[in-house]
Amino acid sequence: MVTVDNILVEQQRNDVSLNRYSGRFAPSPTGPLHFGSLITAVASYCDAKSHDGQWIVRIEDTDIPRIYPGSEDHILKCLEAFEFESDATIIFQKDRLDIYESVLKDLHDQGLVYACQCTRKMLGSNHIYAGTCRELHLPLEHQAIRVKVHDENICFEDILQGQHCSNLEYDLGDFVLKRRDGIINYQLAVVVDDYLQGITHVVRGADLLDNTERQIYLAQILGYPQLEYMHLPLAMNEHGTKLSKQNLAQALDTAQAPQLLSQAILALGQLPVDLDRPSVMLKQAVAQWDRNSIPKGTEISGFFK
């Protein structure tokens, strides 16, 4: 169904050349890229290229208050130094807010979202939203916007992690698509852009596994096709927590690109590649890529920095 409000969305989608496999790397500039990000970049790249697919880069920068100064630059410098080439122009989500707003308006016209004035404190200790504002029909301005969910199991078969299910009503309740401060939530932006960019496969860290049912649900109500998911085991630091920007994981050192690339390929359980310039190493990694060799589970054993 194409309404006036989603014409913009449909027009963009028509420009996408739909490949059999289309993957992406979608970092948020909330800190510099670290070794865990490199693992995601390598795996998403090799999986796409070994399936003759395209691989594109998208910068997920809608959460303005969390953007870390200079990290966008560091991401772009790393992509260059590691010789990763996006098959499409790199898009920045902060330039696409009108698209997400038009999707929200469309969902509102269909009665699928509503404004919510509840504060975090009112949610109670389990953080499951009870739908307090569902029938209040509050004006949308200056309020959070939540999407209605139902009592149904949403399940998917992850390529590495197997079956994963969630009942959004019991596990979460109606969830936020736009915050009261006007920030478009990651869940909405990621689903809309994966669709508009013709993405077919999502390869990312297992820390995002629990977000997937929300994204599948949003794609369903928006009439978008279901994607394939592959959630990678996470690189941990010596304290047994995942490498992350919040845990101040070391920024990737672009001067060490071949060495770091070699380590990331090994951490993914793949055959070693010869040290060379990154593009040559990536070519060899693609030729040798074997999903079945990726370590099982949600953590890579060993310590990383």
Q: Which residues are annotated as a binding site for L-glutamate?
A: 24-28, 60, 186, 204
- Kindly indicate which of the ranges 24-32, 71-79, 145-153, 283-291 contains the residues binding ligand GLU, using the contact rule CB under 6 A: 24-32
Q: How many CB atoms within 10 Å of residue 19?
A: 16
Strand partners, 88: none
The C-alpha angle with vertex 140 and arms to 139 and 141, in degrees rounded to 5, equals 95
- Cα separation, 230 vs 142, whole angstroms: 37
Report residue 300 CA to chain centroid gap. Answer: 20
- Kindly indicate which of the ranges 22-30, 69-77, 109-117, 158-166 contains the residues binding ligand GLU, using the contact rule CB under 6 A: 22-30
Q: How many CB atoms within 10 Å of residue 89?
A: 7
Which residues are annotated as part of the binding site for ATP? 245
- Cα separation, 289 vs 128, whole angstroms: 41
Q: Give the number of residues in contact with ligand GLU, rule: CB under 6 A.
A: 7
- Kindly indicate which of the ranges 10-18, 26-34, 70-78, 250-258 contains the residues binding ligand GLU, using the contact rule CB under 6 A: 26-34
Q: Which residues contact 249 (CB under 8 A, 6 or more apart)?
A: 31, 34, 35, 36, 237, 243, 305
For the CB of residue 191, give the shortest distance to ligand GLU in the complex, in Å.
9
Task: Confirm or reject binding of residue 270 to ligand GLU (CB under 6 A).
Answer: no
- Cα separation, 20 vs 29, whole angstroms: 29
* Contact mark string toward ligand GLU, 173..202, x via CB under 6 A: -----------------x------------
Task: Confirm or reject binding of residue 23 to ligand GLU (CB under 6 A).
Answer: no
**Residue selected from 9, 26, 172, 273 as contacting ligand GLU according to rule CB under 6 A:** 26
For the CB of residue 60, give the shortest distance to ligand GLU in the complex, in Å.
4
**Residue selected from 16, 208, 219, 221 as contacting ligand GLU according to rule CB under 6 A:** 208
Q: Look at residue 235 and give its three-state secondary structure.
A: strand
Task: Confirm or reject binding of residue 96 to ligand GLU (CB under 6 A).
Answer: no
**Residue selected from 23, 27, 31, 36 as contacting ligand GLU according to rule CB under 6 A:** 27
Task: Confirm or reject binding of residue 204 to ligand GLU (CB under 6 A).
Answer: yes
- Cα separation, 153 vs 151, whole angstroms: 7
* Packed helices 97-109 and 7-14: angle between N→C axes, nearest 10 degrees: 130
For the CB of residue 28, give the shortest distance to ligand GLU in the complex, in Å.
4
- Please tell me the total number of residues recorded for the chain in this structure: 305
- Kindly indicate which of the ranges 23-31, 114-122, 157-165, 278-286 contains the residues binding ligand GLU, using the contact rule CB under 6 A: 23-31
Residue 295 has what DSSP assignment?
P
Task: Confirm or reject binding of residue 60 to ligand GLU (CB under 6 A).
Answer: yes
Residues of this chain that interact with ligand GLU (CB under 6 A) are 26-28, 60, 190, 204, 208
